[in-house]
Structure 1
């Protein structure tokens, strides 16, 4: 009881923590409030004509991506975990590289080379290739094409979790299966996969959550899902309440996925019985079998990273028109850099508050803050735009007697954009900060206080220098996520303010795919940073 009331005493750290929780709750509550709002004509039109299509396409796309990431991620994880062959160590981290690509950039790149006027179909027509051979390339802009693009960039979620689950299994269990007369495939199907099923399910659900939140890929391929419907309702119909009502339905999908993902993670348990791990009994391959697994692992790397990167580099150097790229780069880097520093600063205050005042109530608040990352960017944008717009209207009304013209005080400024980034990516920064703080002994805090340092000085002078690796990682990961973010930036950005992601989207929408390549390449190159950091952290395990 004492600790609970101590939490409620005024304190800057606690105010920052509960303030961050309110920031996350604001767009969520705003969107959910429209569930009970009187339906508009636009909403009724959506229910009568398009809602069923949005639901079916979203579910079908999620199903295709779930199958795709499982079919790529599980076999590659099994090969890397169970077999030893030339090039295995290199392939183990190369398989992470597609994570650097936003799916919409992969879609732009493959469309540029596979469209009707592209080099592949032009060559096929020149050699009188049969129509049934050309048909799959002609239908790249489709639901299956979008599922393929998303699968190529999202399978590392499954690969990472499945590989970790495989490596933690005991080789003795497999050998017991062999002694009972089971074949290698039967052991894999009846022992290995069931034990790794929670980890695989968690990875698949994470990929599906990213699929549900995707906007750039489905918009470019003309697939009508919830995200494109929300954007169309907001921009096309000019109906913000209707967009919020669609967002509330999408939140229902996200809530179900969060529950399923948390349940899968809770079922992931590893017990060390001092037996040999699976990697200690790996099978060595040579000759044709080794070549076969090398080729199998190389396919997702080739199509998910190498081919699109080569195309982007070639177009950027030889064909693209470099229009105001430096200004776009400056806008993107300044916005992403400033926002990531602000977000990590808030995360440091939240993590330090949990360290100084541990309690169940504060733990619940911190867990709630983590839900922001699960919200689709377009839902966050709508949830921020509505209250900020209402605030602008109220301020203009108050200033009207002084003949001050109405204007966008915060909803049309970078304040709204940074606020949306805070809601969306605070969980990413908080995870890295909490991980760094957990490695510092409590005696460090006590020593600092004995030396007469305030709580703030202990954080800034002792903790941050000692955990600078975790802080820098949090800044870099937030920086890259913000650089890739498209729907929130697209909706909330000020007039005449573009970023690399928004400019690539605009050029692709104008079918200027080659001119979109410089901006796209910049995003991909920066996106390699967290992949390299992730590979280094895995290598230390």
Structure 2
């Protein structure tokens, strides 16, 4: 238990040490030339995403939950699908489509007869507003899923009382549905903003100099590890701020339904122009976040004959991606089972503390995590090398950093909270009487975990494994910074093509990432939509 907590805290402690040991002259340079612009861009990006992605997620969740309109049944399944598309891939595609040399502007020039860019105005996709649009189109499902889950569980009785008192549908949403969903919205919004803060590919490609991009460029392009660590410490302040905002949004907010009588809100049919407006409002995010990127990737793959890329090199990159993801997923699940089972059996402050610390990893951006892991991993490699040389007289070289072990460790730290949260939620639904009965019959703790808890956690284990596996495949910042030389995954392969101005050549790799990511998203939607609806039950 303590080892799991130390695993998460290790990179953060190392980061603080690197920052403290850095040259004191770096801080004045950072404060004067780097931090002001990066901080302003980061704040503006997060604020813009909070407004746009929040509006998309809340509006669409309410419309598909409270109303019936053309295409609603299909849109319920399509709205979460942008989760399968990484932000950096969407950014690369939008540049290919909407930049001055992109397909849309070229078609406009051919259609209207414009000769140069100076003859007309077109929104710049390589800009802060463009970055906000791109990220919002991909990240809004975090808010949508949280909001829809809350809207589905709200009692119809409260709505009917409000309607009886003369409240309109809009007022019902504003004064009842939205305030009751506030705790879930705080969680969904914080997850979306943490993902935006973690991003490096989209913001860098669209010309937005966020703190994440500054860490990357300061470390690799300017060779200043201490300067990068100091910027990363500023990023940690942003992470803490987002967590505090999320906790503030959920403060003292609890909502429980009566177990005796529970009717959910039944969708009200919309007619005429309102129905088609609702359809358009719900279809637009799907078009921007999923249909457009996936359609472009499929078009480029077919048009360029990129299926011929399925050669030995591509398969090696694919197998590297799968191998790292499988190894990390297995390690995360084993560690999560240990943590959750120990916290369930031995309800001590240490087990609760370890479970809480394990959940902090997801809040740490991949760039910061990679930076913090560098020194500890190199130190461990040196210790292993010294021991091996003492025992055998031979050099062993790098073990973790040289064999992609550092990437797996970064994945484990970053995605451990997904598994612990899923398994805890699954195990909380199990009556403690089963475990009490096992203890009465003389079962040891190991037998209780192996024969009772793990079988009961299988559905949660399966869903957690899918989510972690796909998140590992999509993860770019930590992979980009910790990969050994001459090692490529699908995400770094796409990044390499895009950085060379040849993103279309990486369409096949990007398409594979999206298709693999669809599996857990579809499973998530299926589970949510299959939730039993509790209708009127006789009072007892």
TM norm structure 1: 0.89
Matches within 5 A, 1:197-212: 197-212=182-197
- The answer as to 2:31 corresponding to 1:47 is yes
Alignment of 1:374 onto 2:360: no
Distance change in 2, residues 1:187/1:451 (3 Å): closer
Which residue is 1:307 aligned to?
A: 292
Task: Name the CA distance, whole Å, in 1 between partners of 2:119 and 2:424.
Answer: 53
* C-alpha contact 2:427 2:456 (8 A) present in aligned 1: no
1:103 pairs, out of 82, 87, 90, with 87
Task: State which drifts further: 359-368 or 373-382.
Answer: 359-368
> Corresponding residue for 1:259?
244
Runs of 5+ consecutive residues of structure 2 not aligned to the other structure: 532-540
Query: 1:534 pairs with 504, 518, 524, which one?
Result: 524
**Which residue of 1 is the match for residue 281 of structure 2?**
296
Secondary structure of 1:498's aligned partner: coil
Name the CA distance, whole Å, in 1 between partners of 2:305 and 2:134. Answer: 23
Is 1:515 paired with 2:501? no
Q: Which of 408, 428, 434 does residue 418 from structure 1 map onto? A: 408
Alpha-carbon deviation of 1:522? Answer: 0.8
* Shift, 1:250, TM fit: 0.3
For the structure 1 residues 147 and 475, does the alpha-carbon distance in structure 2 shift closer, same or farther, using more than 3 Å as the test?
same
Structure 1 residues 42 and 407: alpha-carbon distance in aligned structure 2, compared to 1, 3 A threshold: farther
Residue number in structure 1 paired with 2:515: 525
Q: Which residue is 1:245 aligned to?
A: 230
Equivalent residue, structure 1, for 2:537: none
Mapping of 1:394-405 within 5 angstroms? none
Q: Which moved more, 1:479-488 or 1:77-86?
A: 77-86
Q: Return the offset for 1:132.
A: 8.5
Aligned counterparts of 1:457 and 1:369: Cα–Cα separation in 2: 25
Alpha-carbon contact 2:19-2:226 (below 8 Å) kept: no
| Cα distance change, pair 467–184 in 1 and its aligned pair in 2 (3 A) | closer
Deviation of residue 411 (structure 1)?
2.8
For residue 451 of structure 1, report the CA deviation from its aligned partner. 7.2
Alignment partners' CA distance in 2, 1:98 and 1:460: 37
- On the 8 A contact 1:69/1:154 being kept in 2, the answer is yes
Compute the displacement of 1:61 (Å). Answer: 0.5
Q: 1:222 aligns with which of 190, 207, 227?
A: 207
Paired residue for 1:362? Answer: 351
TM-score (norm 2): 0.89
- Counterpart position of 2:8: 24
The alpha carbon displacement at 1:268 in A equals 4.0
* Partner SS for 1:117: coil
Question: How far off its partner does 1:418 sit?
Answer: 1.3
Distance, in Å, in 1 between the alignment partners of 2:183 and 2:423 is 27
Greater mean deviation of Cα atoms: 394-403 or 162-171: 394-403
Ranges in structure 1 where 5+ consecutive residues have no aligned partner? 1-16
> Is the CA contact (8 Å cut-off) linking 2:198 and 2:477 kept in structure 1?
no
Q: Number of residues paired by the alignment?
A: 523
Q: Which residue does the alignment assign to 1:429?
A: 419
CA contact (8 A) 2:22 2:226 kept: no
2:265 alignment partner, SS class = helix
Q: Which of the numbers 111, 124, 135 marks the counterpart of 2:121?
A: 135
Counterpart of 1:332 in 2: which secondary structure?
helix
Conservation of the 8 A alpha-carbon contact between 1:371 and 1:427: yes
Counterpart in 2 of 1:6? none
Distance (whole Å) between structure 2 residues aligned to residue 292 and residue 400 of structure 1: 71
175-184 vs 201-210, which moves further: 175-184
Q: Deviations over 1:104-146 (max 9, x none)?
A: 1111122222233332221111123666896335x11111111
Mapped partners of 2:288, 2:370: distance in 1: 32
Distance 1:192 1:207 in 2: 21
Question: Relative to 1, partners in 2 of residues 1:200 and 1:457: Cα closer, same or farther, differing over 3 Å?
Answer: closer
Q: What is the SS of the residue equivalent to 1:135?
A: coil
User: How far apart, CA to CA, are the structure 2 residues paired with 1:265 and 1:141?
Assistant: 36
* Structure 1 counterpart SS, 2:505: coil
1:233–1:396 distance in 2 versus 1, CA, 3 Å: farther
| Aligned equivalent of 1:80, options 43, 60, 64 | 64
